[in-house]
Structure 1
Amino acid sequence: MELEHGAAVIVSDWLRGKPEEVFYFITDESHLREAEAFVTAAEQRGIVTKVSVLSSDEVQRGDCVEEMRRIMSYADVVIGATNYSFITTNAVDYALHHGARFLSLPLSTNDGRSMFEYDFLSMNPAAAARMAILTALGKVRPSKSDVPSPETTRAHADRMGYKVFIPALALALTAVLVATFWTSLGANNAIGVSALVALFIAFTLFKCKPSYAVSDGTRLMDNVGPVGILPQVLAALGSLFTAAGVGDVIASGVEKVIPDGSRLIAVAVYCVAMALFTIIMGNGFAAFSVITVGVGIPFLIMQGANPVVVGAMGLTAGYCGTLLTPMAANFNIMPAALLETKDKYSIIKAQAPVALTMLAIHIVLMYLLAF
C-alpha cells in the first residue's frame, strides 16, 4: 500500500473525518513523511489540520504533551502518531472530557517501513466482526478432505513405528542449529528452513506423494480453525494492554486488597493474578508485562523481594494458567485437533490438577526464596 493511500484510509475510514473538522496531528521528527501524507489526505476532505512535531525524548518524557492539553481540547480529533503512546496522559484525558476524539497511532515498526504502508489498514472491521460471529456460532466447518480410514492409519502406524517422530525432532533441532550458527538469517527464517528440512526427511522416510503435504496441511488447518492465529493476536494484545496502562489500573485495585507488610498475601495475589491473566490472555508473556508492572514491582520488588526470583517464578506461575485455558490454543486446542479427540477440552481437564498443584507450590517457593 502506498503511504498516501494509507493516510487516506485512516482519515476517511478510521476517523470518518468531516469537512471543517479540526484534526490535530502530533508526531516526532522521525515521522515527517507520515505527517505530510496525513495533512494532504485530510485537506482533500476539507478538514482543518494542525501539526506539532516533537523530539522523541520529549514524547518519551511526556512533559511536553501535558503542556499541550488546552490546544488538544480545541480539536475535534487528536492523533498521537509517535513512537511512544501517550494515551494514558492527563492531557489526553482532559481533551476527551472536552469532546475531542483521540487516536493512538504509534508508528514504530520492526522492519523500517511506515505503518501507513501496511495493508491491514484497509481491513474492513464489519466484515471481520461478521466472520467472528459465524465462527462463534459454529457455522464454519472443515472442508471435505480425503481422510484415510482408521484401519489404513493403524496399518501405516504399525509399519512406521517411532520413525514418525523423526521429522518433528529434526524440525526442532534444525531450527536451533540454524538460529544459533546462521544468525544473519534470523530466528523466524530459521523456523522456515527447519520446516523445509523436516518436510524433505518426511518424504524420504515415508515415500509419500508431495501433494500430501498440501492436502494434509489444509486438513490440519481446517481442524485447528481460527485458533491457529490466536497466539500472535494475544501477544499483540498484551503489548497493547501494557501501553494503555492496564498495569497501573490493576495496581490501584490490588492496593486496596493487600494489607501493609503482608508478604505472603502479596506473593499469593501476584502468582494467582499471573495465572488468571494468563488464562484470560492465553499468553504468559503478555500477562507477565502487565501483572509485574501492576503487582510484582510495587508490592514485591519494592518491598525487598529478589527481582530474579520474582521474575522467574512469576512467569512460570503464569504457565500454570496456560495449562488451564483454551485461549492457549497452541498448547491445548491444537493438540486436541491433531489427536482428533472427542472432547476438545480433554487436554485441559487432564492438566488441571497438575496446574493447580504447581500454582500452590509456586506461592510457597516464592515466599521462601524471594525474601
Structure 2
Amino acid sequence: MAEGLSRLARVIAHPATFDVAFALIGGLLWSYAIRIALDRCRVRRWPAVAYWFTLGVLFGCGAWLPYWIDGVLVVGLVGIEAAGGVRWQATPLPGTHSAEPGSRALWPVLTIPAITFGVAGLTALAGGDVGRGAVIGLALGGVVAVGVALVAGRFPLSTALDAGCELTEAIGPLHLLPQLLASLGLLFTAAGVGALLSDAVGRVVPAGNVWGAAAAYFLGMTLFTALVGNSFAAFSVITTGIGIPLVIAPFGLDPALVAILGLTAGSCGTLCTPMAANFNLLPVGLYGLADNYAVLRMQWRLAVILWPAHLLVFGLYVLHR
C-alpha cells in the first residue's frame, strides 16, 4: 500500500503528467477544428477552424512555446472573435435522444468529482501536492466520465465528440474568461494594486481589529470580483493586499481557511455581476431565455444570504481556535 502511494505521488509530481493532461485538451480542440473544416455547409468555417486549432496549440503546446508567441496567439484568438469568426449554429444531432437514460445520466456527472476527490485524497496520503493531485484527478475524471457516458447513454464515441463540439462552440470564447481574468489579477498584483488597497484599508480599519479586517477582506473580494467578473482575478490582488497583511499575518490565522472563505466571498460577487458572462449570460443564450438578466435576478438573493455566513464561519473559527 505504502509503495503504491509513493509511486502515485511520484507520477503526479512528474512534470510530464501535466503535459499529458493539457495535450489531451489540445488534441480534443484539434478534433473539433477538423470536424468544422469537414462541414462544407457551414458559413465562414475557416475562421472558426483557425480559432479552435490555435486554442488547441495553446493548450497542447503552449508550455513549450516562447511566451511572446503564446501572447501573439492569444491576441489572434481575440481578433478572430472580434471579426465574428466564431459563431455557433445549432444543428440536431441524430441519435442523441434515442433512448431515455433515466438515472444513468448521473453516472458521468458523479464520476468526475469522485475521481477528483479520490486522486486528491490518495495524493494527500502519499504526502504529495494535494492541489496538483486534484487537477490531475479532474483530468482523469473527465476522460473516465466520457467512457461512462458512452455506456450509460448507449451511443457511439462519434456522437459524444459531436455533442462536445457543439457545446464547446456554444460556449465559444467564454471558455477563455477564467484564464484571462486570472492573468488580469496577476497583472494588478504586479502593478501594486494590492499594496494601495492595503494602505487604504489600514487607514479605515483600526489596528488589531480582526473583525473589521475580515469584513474588509470579504467585502473587497466580493466587490472586486463583481468588477472584473471572476474571483480568481480578484483573489491574488485582494489576498495579497488585504488578506495576508491585515487578516492572516497579524493574528496568526490559518491561511488556508481564511483564503477559502475569501474566495467563496468573492463568488458572491460572481453571482451578482453580468461581467461573469460565462456563468450568468451564457445560460441565457443556451436556454433561449427572454430576459438577459434572468439568472442574475435569481442569484443575487442567494448571494445576500451567503455573504454574512462567511463572517459567521470566520467568527466561529476565531472564537474556538
- Mark yes or no: TM-score above 0.5: yes
Partners of 2:89 and 2:318 lie apart in 1 by 52
| Cα pair 2:229 2:273 within 8 Å, conserved | yes
Give 1:265 shift: 4.1
Aligned to 2:247: 300
Q: Any stretches of 5+ residues in structure 1 without a counterpart?
A: 1-110
Partners of 2:148 and 2:249 lie apart in 1 by 52
User: 1:103-142 alignment to 2 at 5 Å?
Assistant: 116=66, 119-123=69-73, 125=75, 127-128=76-77, 130-131=79-80, 133-134=82-83, 140-142=86-88
Q: 1:273 to 1:228 in 2, by over 3 A?
A: same
2:141 is the alignment partner of 1:194: yes
SS of the residue 1:208 aligns to = coil
SS of the residue 2:156 aligns to = coil
Partners of 2:134 and 2:192 lie apart in 1 by 30
Q: 1:181 to 1:134 in 2, by over 3 A?
A: same
Give 1:172 shift: 2.8
Q: How many residues align?
A: 252
Deviations 1:289-335 (A, max 9, x none): 32122223343345547345643432332222232234545654555
Deviations 1:238-289 (A, max 9, x none): 2332233221021233334435666554333221111112223443344233
Aligned to 1:269: 216
Deviations 1:130-163 (A, max 9, x none): 445446xxx85313422579xx95x85xx32221
Deviations 1:188-241 (A, max 9, x none): 554443333222222223222332122211210122121112112222322332
Aligned to 1:314: 262
Cα-Cα RMSD: 3.9
Aligned to 2:199: 252
Aligned to 2:298: 350
AA of the residue aligned to 1:164: A
AA of the residue aligned to 2:183: A
Aligned to 2:31: none
Which of 86, 91, 98 is residue 145 of structure 1 equivalent to?
91
More strand by share: 1
Partners of 2:247 and 2:139 lie apart in 1 by 41
Aligned to 1:361: 309
Q: 1:339 to 1:168 in 2, by over 3 A?
A: farther
Identical residues among aligned pairs (%): 35
Partners of 1:300 and 1:186 lie apart in 2 by 28
User: 1:16-165 alignment to 2 at 5 Å?
Assistant: 116=66, 119-123=69-73, 125=75, 127-128=76-77, 130-131=79-80, 133-134=82-83, 140-146=86-92, 156=99, 159-165=100-106
Larger relative contact order (Cα-Cα within 8 Å, sequence gap ≥ 6): 2
2:169 is the alignment partner of 1:219: no
Deviations 1:165-204 (A, max 9, x none): 1122123323444555589996555444333322222222
| Cα pair 1:230 1:327 within 8 Å, conserved | no
AA of the residue aligned to 2:162: S
Which of 101, 108, 119 is residue 167 of structure 1 equivalent to?
108
Q: 1:222 to 1:117 in 2, by over 3 A?
A: closer
SS of the residue 2:101 aligns to = helix
Q: 1:360 to 1:208 in 2, by over 3 A?
A: same
Partners of 1:179 and 1:360 lie apart in 2 by 30
| Cα pair 2:81 2:173 within 8 Å, conserved | no
Partners of 2:306 and 2:202 lie apart in 1 by 26
Give 1:365 shift: 4.8
Partners of 2:157 and 2:70 lie apart in 1 by 33
Aligned to 1:370: 318
Q: 1:270 to 1:175 in 2, by over 3 A?
A: closer
- TM-score normalized by structure 1? 0.55
Q: 1:246 to 1:358 in 2, by over 3 A?
A: same
Give 1:353 shift: 0.8
| Cα pair 2:112 2:142 within 8 Å, conserved | yes
AA of the residue aligned to 2:303: A
Q: Any stretches of 5+ residues in structure 2 without a counterpart?
A: 1-60
Q: 1:129 to 1:230 in 2, by over 3 A?
A: closer
Give 1:349 shift: 2.4
AA of the residue aligned to 1:252: D
2:220 is the alignment partner of 1:279: no
